[in-house]
């Protein structure tokens, strides 16, 4: 049987590779943080969607009521 031997030395290539990977991870994390901050600011400045939807639904109800009144008046004239 052959015995495998593991060397316990760390080469310059491994150190450089780890440094580049760490720098890439930090850059990615910084970019993600910037995107999250931008999204949070956009969410703060824009009104909530649910509130806007409720207003639109109420406006549609009022428009339907107005249309119903107009149709009733037109039917009465005939």
Buried b (16+ CB within 10 A) or exposed e, 48-64: eeeeeeeeeeeeeeeee
* pLDDT recorded at residue 48: 80
pTM for this entry: 0.45
Give the chain's domain count.
Answer: 2
Q: How does residue 78 score in pLDDT terms, banded at 50, 70 and 90?
A: low
Which residue did the predictor score with more confidence, 24 or 42?
24
Task: Answer whether residue 3 is part of any domain.
Answer: no
Mean pLDDT, range 20-25, rounded to an integer: 96
Same-domain pairing of 55 and 77: yes
Same-domain pairing of 55 and 39: no
Does residue 56 have a pLDDT over 90? yes
* pLDDT recorded at residue 71: 94
Task: Answer whether residue 42 is part of any domain.
Answer: yes
**CA gap 13, 19 in Å, rounded:** 10
């Amino acid at each position: 049987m052959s015995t495998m031997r593991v060397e316990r030395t760390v080469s310059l290539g491994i150190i450089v590779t780890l440094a580049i990977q760490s720098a890439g991870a930090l850059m990615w994390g910084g970019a993600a943080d910037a995107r999250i901050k931008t999204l949070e600011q956009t969410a703060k400045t824009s009104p909530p969607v649910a509130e806007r939807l409720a207003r639109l639904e109420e406006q549609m109800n009022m428009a339907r009521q107005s249309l119903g009144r107009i149709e009733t008046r037109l039917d009465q004239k005939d």
